[in-house]
Structure 1
């Protein structure tokens, strides 16, 4: 797996990352969503450098300009619900992409810290032969991404697979390296220290879905 760590070079990305973590800023849910969206825009720009392009000629009012445009057919697929603001950031840049949505969550059958991943709702277009961008803001254990990935592959084999996450734990990155094909690309805005005993990312930022959309039952 090819891994791209985007925060290693200073840019405005780190400014947005600091704001979504800051407890004095993140309690404004509208601002939190917008910052996640802006992070998605920055990540989309960086990922766009790895896509394939074709030569085109553009008619301007004064002549012809030779340039390039994206050749790949893209499918953006986010994991509900936390992935929605990040998805929008990618869609702002890849506005011609098709879109898919999948629900995945931790189910605690014994009401303790042990859990299994359940993948339920799906609304996904055809992905065979296209570039699949799987979007989820938090990569903790990695189990949700792998479960969704395996479910999506039942619909066909993409041409390329890119996974985009905002905050990752080393354990989650290692899990993806173990369970996903070598040809996948993992795009990480920033890498954190570890998972705690409840498998939450430390220092992390809390629950991204709750911060964006309010507490759930």
Structure 2
């Protein structure tokens, strides 16, 4: 069976609402940050479908015993926010995955070459191959940052088939690169935009997510 990248754009009214708030150029930083937190929460919720490891057990209600399905805490989970902008999604994601380890990866784009340079790498030396890894990157534009992240994570043993990428806006260019190199991946994004301008920014996009989230 040939694998193919799966990209999900959830038809959820709250995702659409907060995307609209985040896109609006007049949205102040404090509200933009709230919008990103909510997008992180709801996109993570969607990304967790059929992904979180569960176990069957029995619990005692106040009246009787009954079967229950619980998230298995023995299976490792990790969240990798790509700094800086990925931090804006982290609060929302972490509220749903409180047991996940957080591994920060700092990347900055060279505006001339559009390549992603790493200035901070807090990834473990080796991932357990069963680890569920969620990568937070609000903007999948040229593909430079997400491809660098995938290289860093997979060389440490993480399985692309067990990963989820959570983005807010994605461009076809980045998705094509992911599809060619990691066809078993699953991507969750609020919208797929039409493309990039001559500076490599997503159009219509929402601007620089890091600058807008942190008021810089």
Residues 139 and 168, structure 2, Cα contact 8 Å, conserved in 1? yes
Partner of 2:194: 193
Deviations 1:153-209 (A, max 9, x none): 232233712111110011111121123x22211112211111000010000111000
Q: Which shows bigger deviation, 166-175 or 197-206? A: 166-175
On the 8 A contact 2:78/2:101 being kept in 1, the answer is yes
More displaced stretch, 188-197 vs 63-72: 63-72
Are 1:94 and 2:97 counterparts? yes
Contact 1:119/1:148, CA 8 A, preserved across alignment? no
Looking at structure 1, the residues matched to 7 and 180 of structure 2 have their Cα atoms a distance apart, in angstroms, of: 17
* CA drift at 1:142: 0.9
CA distance in 2, matches of 1:120, 1:196: 26
Give the SS at the match of 1:206: coil
CA deviation after TM superposition for structure 1 residue 127, in Å: 2.2
Measure how far apart 1:12 and its partner are. 1.4
Q: Give the C-alpha shift of residue 107 in structure 1.
A: 1.9
Deviations 1:58-81 (A, max 9, x none): 333333332212234211101001
Which residue does 1:166 correspond to in 2? Answer: 168
1:36-78 Cα offsets, whole Å, 9 max, x none, are 1111111111111121322122333333332212234211101
Aligned length: 207
Q: 2:83 aligned with 1:75, yes or no?
A: no
SS in structure 2 at match of 1:155: coil
| 8 Å Cα contact 2:114-2:144 kept in structure 1 | no
Question: Post-superposition shift, 1:116?
Answer: 2.0
- Check 1:64–1:30 CA distance in 2 against 1; reply closer, same or farther (3 A cut): farther
Partner of 2:146 in structure 1? 145
Q: What is the TM-score normalised by the length of structure 2? A: 0.88
> How far apart, in 2, do the equivalents of 1:141 and 1:118 lie?
14
**Structural RMSD (CA):** 1.8
Cα offset, 1:10, TM superposition: 4.5
1:117 aligned partner: 116
Q: Partner of 1:209 in structure 2?
A: 210
* Structure 2 gap segments, 5+ residues each: none
Partner of 1:11: 13
Q: TM-score, normalised by structure 1?
A: 0.88
